[in-house]
Amino acid sequence: MLRMLESFGADSHALADHVENGGGLTEADKQKIRTEIENARALAYAQGVRAAEAKQHGTGAFRNTDGNPEWTEVALFVQREKHRLPDRHHEFIDDMASRTVFEREPTVKQHQYLHSLFYKLGGKVT
């Protein structure tokens, strides 16, 4: 590296000064770079959030025609997270999860109750 610097007529001190002073960038250039970094960070964060939600709630290979996840996915998610809910809900949650094995469709009221628990746990329809 020292030979390369010498070929350009510089030494390690000149390189250090150049790095410390931002490489000769103007304040406008530095601000533009900061803005680009902030935009990239925000975009990456949003992608990370979407990936985490997909992992947490399942990617939903099967969706209803309205775009909502299948009730089976909702039931299994709620069962995985039931420790965050009061004990009075646990029996219902386990019953709904057991129905997924035999594909026994819940009633309308059971659907509503199951989805209300899903939303209480932070489940989102994406």
Report yes or no: 104 and 75 within 8 Å, Cβ to Cβ. no
More confident site: 69 or 116:
116
Is residue 117 predicted with pLDDT exceeding 90?
yes
| pLDDT per residue as tens digits for the range 6-22 | 888 888 888 888 777 76
| pLDDT per residue as tens digits for the range 44-86 | 988 888 777 666 655 455 455 555 678 888 899 999 999 999 9
Report yes or no: 94 and 79 within 8 Å, Cβ to Cβ. yes
Percent of the chain with pLDDT over 70: 83
List own/partner pairs for 112-116 with CB under 8 A and 24 or more apart.
114/71, 114/74, 114/75, 114/78, 115/74
- Domains of the chain by residue range: 25-57, 59-120
Q: Output the pLDDT for position 86.
A: 93
